[in-house]
Amino acid sequence: MTGRGRIVSRLGLFLLAAAPAVAGRPAHAQERPALTITLPADSLLTRRGPVVAAARMLAGERLRGLIQSGFPARFHFRVELWSRGRFFVDQLEGATEWDVLARWLPTERVYEVVQVMDDHAMSLGKFRDIADAERAIGRPNAARIAAQRQAQPQYYQATLVVEVLSERDIDEVSRWLQGDIEPAITGQANPASVLSRAVRSLASRLLGGVRLEYEATTPQFRAP
């Protein structure tokens, strides 16, 4: 049986015996995912970045099923600051990005959510209810990119790419989370190794084309 065939069979077994935390979500599972980006107060535009939040990122049955079956999911957030240019050519002024990884731990029967930002890993917790894990994945974050003082109108654009890692990556992700993240949190390891050895190396290896993308843009504003 091919790797893809093993994955499909594994997912089929899960759907026949879904965990109560997944099967017990009625109306919520029907709601659509949403990505939002909110500007700070006008007086803070040049001091703080916008707040990015995601809701119902695990609303899809397929994505929740894959995570429950043991396939880690990567949520890649990116925020860009743009200024309006002449002749309809806008200028990219800067960008910031971070990752959130979510996986199911069958021995503990919990969902683990970890955030990686600026080469630092931070555990967002372990959750028995998938709804709690979903809130941790999409929790509001202030993007570390403030507007510039200039006359031209500016705006922010946020993107969120959701990728499910392949079956061959599971062991590597497990070793990374157990061997690198916990020491990084306690200061016993170099946090820079977390991204270079894990997120960046796994980002391009997807499972059967499972890739979702969301966008959100702020209104234009001026920060003179």
pLDDT digits (tens, 9 = 90+) for 164-190: 876 555 566 666 556 555 444 444 444
Give the phi and the psi of residue 207 in degrees, each rounded to 5.
Answer: -100, 110
Categorize the per-residue pLDDT at 24 as very low, low, confident or very high, splitting at 50, 70 and 90.
very low
Residue 23 has pLDDT above 60, yes or no: no
120-156 CB burial, b ≥16 within 10 A, e <16: ebbebebbeebbbbbbbbbeebebebbbeeeebebbb
Question: Within 10 A of 14 (CB to CB), how many other CB atoms are there?
Answer: 19
| pLDDT score at 201 | 45
DSSP bridge partners of 55: 34
Q: How far apart are the first and last CA of the chain?
A: 62
Residue 160 has pLDDT above 90, yes or no: yes
Q: Give the mean model confidence (pLDDT) for residues 8-24.
A: 34
Distance of CA 101 to the CA centre of its chain: 6
Give the amino acid at 191. Answer: P
The torsion region of residue 107 among left (phi > 0), alpha (psi -120 to 50) and beta comes to alpha
Q: If residue 98 lies in a helix (H) or strand (E), which one and from where to where?
A: strand 91-105
Q: Return d(Cα 72, Cα 198) in angstroms, integer.
A: 12
**Strand residue runs (E) in 39-90:** 51-55, 73-83
Residue whose pair of structure tokens reads 């006359």 in the numeric block? 151
Q: Return d(Cα 39, Cα 59) in angstroms, integer.
A: 26
Residue 28 has pLDDT above 50, yes or no: no
Categorize the per-residue pLDDT at 34 as very low, low, confident or very high, splitting at 50, 70 and 90.
very high
Q: Return d(Cα 166, Cα 150) in angstroms, integer.
A: 45
The torsion region of residue 187 among left (phi > 0), alpha (psi -120 to 50) and beta comes to left
Residue 131 has pLDDT above 90, yes or no: yes
The answer to whether residues 105 and 130 touch, using CB atoms and an 8 Å cutoff, is: no
The answer to whether residues 95 and 159 touch, using CB atoms and an 8 Å cutoff, is: no
pLDDT digits (tens, 9 = 90+) for 47-85: 999 999 999 999 888 888 888 888 889 999 999 999 998
Show the domain range for 193.
Answer: 3-223
pLDDT digits (tens, 9 = 90+) for 190-200: 444 444 444 44
Angle formed by the axes of helices 3-16 and 61-68, nearest 10°: 100
> Number of structural domains, the chain?
1
- In sign, the C-alpha dihedral spanning 185, 67, 196, 82 is negative
